[in-house]
Structure 1
Amino acid sequence: MNYGKKLRPVQEKTIDIWLGERFKANRNKTAIVEGINRITYGELEKKINQYGCYFKRRGISKGELVVLRIPNVKEFVFGLLGLIKIGSIPIVTNSLFGENELKGIFDKTDASTLVFYDKDEVSLRIHKGRASRQICKIAVKDIAEGLKEDTENIIEENKELDSIALLMLSSGTTGVPKLVPITHRMIYWHIYGYNQKFQFTSSDSYLACLPLAHKVGLYSPGILNVFFAGGKAVLCSDLDCDDIFVQVEKENITITALVPTLARIWNQYLNQECGYDLSSVRKIIIGGSLVDESLVTKLIEKVECEVLPLYGATEGLALYSIYDRSNLGDAVGYHYSVSGYEEIRIIDENGMDVLNGEEGELIIRGPFTIQSYYNQDVSMKDKFTSDGFYRTGDKVRWDSTYGYQVQGRITDQINRSGEKIEPREIEIFISEHPNIDEAVVVGVEDFLMGERICAFIMTADEKINLSHIRKFLMEKGLATYKLPDQLVKIDEWPLTSVKKINRVKLREIANNTAGKEKI
């Protein structure tokens, strides 16, 4: 396979069109496996139509925004594609989101419906959005009870290629997440390019370990790529290694995607004689955060397959490389883009291209890269250039041997197990505590998570500990994955030469043994 080859779809299609073709061609073939449930392509089509009809009966119309908060279960697929079928626009959210994040989405959009999996406390506490709009809440259980066999009233709304198919959350969130508009054309380019270069076929069985609400879990590449190829998607919500490897054996899994945290857990588990047969696996994709050559090498040695590190962003960045036994131990870089039609530059602080080998910010413009966020009414000069390039905020250099090598972040964003977190949001919430004078949050390098969240606080209250802080933040409605993993009490802030808080020094303090508390 020529991974550097340029690929352009001969004919671009909306999700409805190409899905309909796959339903017709693979009607009796298994599309989804979830636990004991096995769903054929024909049954999947019927469920999507039933969900679409149900949503229309509930008054959801074409162009309407609907917040979707469902974990890795079959109902996520039914709900997402049912909404797209009737022309509404699902806002795909993390099922771990707390009340604060969900309220923020309703406050900044015209969405008035929340579709969620179970009647959990977070979902039930959401009542009003912008201009005190009442929120209609639909639980999956209610949908299942309200489905009807008759789907003759389903009307497949005509859609333009450049119309928005769904809204996803930005890779980097500053407080309330920015919404990324994903069009039918963008999804088709992603799927077509990945399926060609990663060689997805109708014989593939894909294990969906990562959240379907993430780009890598959904289409870059994810379950939509599997459906496009006519293969089988095995949904996995339990990340216990025994459960996962049983599924690998039982379903003859050929492709899966992991975040580095999960890949490290696999490596640790496979150091033991576990006795599982993983020989069916031919490709493991690793995305969400940066990986090192040691992780890649160990995974290749233990699973004996190709490992494909993936570097990307929901905004439309996607670079990757291929590693196998022929290049074990090579430094990890990213050689290839998905289509080859992307324009990629590395610029200095003045916006000028740097020389090869020099570090700078990676920026990209291409056929599936956005040029603005949805409904964003503030300046985005820090995210987009005047000529339409997306600014990643990543410090990168080009190496002729290893490709694009990511050196770190230009900003202080934290990447915890693939979730991108803005420290300032957590700092603001901690500072609302009546007995805390000041708070600073930093990301600290962590073997398992990539980065852990460390909160530094100034307080005279000796009773405040990590458990207390986490409970306080949960009561504020913060998502669980944003809760600090470590707490350090400090009497004086280390400062830089220009009298700013020295976050580099704070990271060093967090790594020392004295004065730190971790979960």
Structure 2
Amino acid sequence: MKSLTPRADFENYIRMKALPEADLSSSLTGWVEKYSDRIALKDEHRQLSYAGLLRESTGFAHWLSAHGLQADDRVLVQLPNSVNFFVVLFAVIRVGALPVLVLPGHRAHEAKGVHQTAGSSFYITQREHDGFGYESIATALVGEGLPREGVVFVDDLDFSALAAVSGTDTFPMPAIDDVALLLLSGGTTNTPKLIPRTHADYVLNFSEMAKACLLDQSSRYLCAVPVAHNFALGCPGVLGVLAVGGFAYLLPRPDILDFAEVVTREQITVTALVPALAELLIEYLELGVEGFSSLMLLQVGAARFSEVSAQKLRALLDCELQHIYGMAEGLLCFNRRFDPLSLKVSTQGRPLSIFDELRVVDEQGQPVIEGEVGELYVRGPYTIRGYYNNEEANHTGFDPDGFYKTGDLVRLDHGNNVVVVGRAKEQINRAGEKYSPADTEKVMLAWDRVVGCSIVGIENITEGDKAVFFIRSSGEHVTREDVCRYLEAQGVAGYKFPDEVVMVNSLPLTAVGKIDKKRLVASYAVAQD
């Protein structure tokens, strides 16, 4: 599959050196030539050198090919943070197939929606993680048409043994404008949209971020948020650390006590947290525990981090604090290491590339006066021009000039630093996990105990948004526990469960007959006073 960027624009980016002439498969080979026996990856079970990563991923690529995987096939990959994640990722890419990175927290409901959009032929996972059995998702996917022989549990495989018996690597090398992987959006539609990132644009993404963050062979990265997220995978994330010969430890679950123990034991120098985890880190450090002497850079991203909390964290840690603002669709903005502290705590920084084009527009799509708030539109060498297999989203999500409509309300300061002030699109952000309430509302309305449901996000300084379910029942009272049990039974991911349920006799409507969520938010605020 090729890039959705018009060919002339892509070639122009290459000619201007806005994009590298590089691909992920060749990148791994190049890393091995430079850093062969250095330890690349480690988790709670094992570690792997750069050369070992190449051997195991090549062996698994041959195994997948022998079991029917072909170039351009789509493969759902749902694995926790682990060494195996990267063996699988590079193996699928080596075959020329497209890994679709499904979050560990997704359940059957989300996985089925992604499969229907992707038309996937393989599902690679492990049998259990944090008490949840992924065999149930595999069964649901087979029921949706995924071939039974395409279900692969990594627990059943010995990657080192597969590496020992693999033959000559005869897979064709990808073109730089081929799509390398499909990330999931956290957007405002019912099912996550599929984001096609090409080899060239994703290599640019993580390699230029690594340079900007001054990473090198001495860098030791702790991956504490799901690596299937663009933030942890390539901003610079694990791939950025590997690109410079560093080391990455993969924490299987976001536990702040485990985080602290690993930072100390593994002498971690750089890590990334979502604001909810950063707030927990503040609480932990305020207990008076010893800080982290090895830590040099802490990134906070995936949601807005308050200026007050940023100042607190900076005071508690003797390291650089870096805001990351971006999206899996492309654009990355961040504070540079040597920016003034005032910028680091009050803005989300400047774009990664000098070729990034930012427009701030009003509700009619017209540019606002400099310094005023508007919706951010963006176009650039590593920002997509369209989603995979989603014409409706492509029609509404991009303007005629190819600018992506982010849905974020921002203002730009005189130095082109971005200050995010809110959302233009309806979306709930739960500790960095973003979703549209419309899909969950639809599930709720299928419940015979509910005749009306509207879900709104109430901003919360520590958790991103507080999900409040306004419910009109068919009779008996519905509790939060009732809703959680129902959603779990429907295979809905836990981060979409309510923080609070509010029972109402009716739901207010706008003049055109839609539920008036602004009035619901206002009534909730009054009730809290």
Using the size of structure 1 for normalisation, the TM-score is 0.92
What residue number does 1:451 align with?
A: 465
2:459 aligns to what SS in structure 1? Answer: strand
Does the 8 Å CA contact 1:306/1:322 hold for their aligned counterparts? no
> Please, which moves more after superposition, 432-441 or 241-250?
241-250
In the alignment, structure 1 residue 257 sits paired with structure 2 residue 272: yes
Using the size of structure 2 for normalisation, the TM-score is 0.90
Give the distance between the partners of 1:95 and 1:105, measured in 2 at CA.
13
CA displacement, residues 206-248 of structure 1 (integer Å, 9 cap, x when unaligned): 0001111100111122100011010000111233322211211
2:315 aligns to what SS in structure 1? Answer: helix
What residue number does 2:6 align with?
A: none
What residue number does 1:108 align with?
A: 117
CA displacement, residues 403-434 of structure 1 (integer Å, 9 cap, x when unaligned): 32112111221111111110111111111111
CA displacement, residues 431-465 of structure 1 (integer Å, 9 cap, x when unaligned): 11112110000011123211021110011533421
> Please, which moves more after superposition, 454-463 or 92-101?
454-463
Give the distance between the partners of 1:433 and 1:354, measured in 2 at CA.
44
Distance 1:428 1:236, change over 3 A: same
What residue number does 1:418 align with?
A: 432
1:38-117 mapped onto 2 (5 Å cutoff): 38-117=47-126
Matching residue within 278, 283, 286 for 1:271: 286
> Please, which moves more after superposition, 339-348 or 147-156?
147-156
Matching residue within 24, 40, 45 for 1:15: 24
1:124-139 mapped onto 2 (5 Å cutoff): 124-128=138-142, 136-139=150-153
Distance 1:237 1:173, change over 3 A: farther
In the alignment, structure 1 residue 462 sits paired with structure 2 residue 481: no
1:259-338 mapped onto 2 (5 Å cutoff): 259-275=274-290, 277-322=291-336, 327=341, 332-338=346-352
1:13-412 mapped onto 2 (5 Å cutoff): 13-35=22-44, 37-118=46-127, 120=133, 121-128=135-142, 136-144=150-158, 147=162, 149-275=164-290, 277-322=291-336, 327=341, 332-378=346-392, 380-400=394-414, 403-412=417-426
> Please, which moves more after superposition, 142-151 or 285-294?
142-151
Does the 8 Å CA contact 2:323/2:349 hold for their aligned counterparts? no
Give the distance between the partners of 2:166 and 2:354, measured in 1 at CA.
42
Does the 8 Å CA contact 2:296/2:319 hold for their aligned counterparts? yes
Q: Which runs of 5+ in 2 are unaligned?
A: 1-15
CA displacement, residues 242-293 of structure 1 (integer Å, 9 cap, x when unaligned): 2211211121111101000000000011001223x41211111111101111
Does the 8 Å CA contact 1:254/1:282 hold for their aligned counterparts? yes
CA displacement, residues 176-198 of structure 1 (integer Å, 9 cap, x when unaligned): 21100010011111123212211
Does the 8 Å CA contact 1:455/1:487 hold for their aligned counterparts? yes
Give the distance between the partners of 2:347 and 2:43, measured in 1 at CA.
35
CA displacement, residues 438-493 of structure 1 (integer Å, 9 cap, x when unaligned): 00000111232110211100115334211111111111111111111210001133
Question: Higher helix fraction: Structure 1 or Structure 2?
Answer: 2
Give the distance between the partners of 1:25 and 1:431, measured in 2 at CA.
56
Does the 8 Å CA contact 1:90/1:166 hold for their aligned counterparts? yes
Give the distance between the partners of 2:307 and 2:163, measured in 1 at CA.
52
State the Cα distance separating 1:308 from its structure 2 match.
Answer: 1.0
Distance 1:496 1:331, change over 3 A: farther
> Please, which moves more after superposition, 448-457 or 7-16?
7-16
Give the distance between the partners of 1:278 and 1:242, measured in 2 at CA.
13
Aligned-residue CA RMSD (Å): 2.3
1:454-493 mapped onto 2 (5 Å cutoff): 454-493=468-507
Does the 8 Å CA contact 1:293/1:332 hold for their aligned counterparts? yes
CA displacement, residues 20-71 of structure 1 (integer Å, 9 cap, x when unaligned): 1111211121111212522211222211112212211211122211110111
Give the distance between the partners of 1:401 and 1:87, measured in 2 at CA.
41
Does the 8 Å CA contact 1:370/1:390 hold for their aligned counterparts? yes
Q: Which runs of 5+ in 1 are unaligned?
A: 1-6
Give the distance between the partners of 1:132 and 1:43, measured in 2 at CA.
31
> Please, which moves more after superposition, 319-328 or 257-266?
319-328
Percent identity reads 29
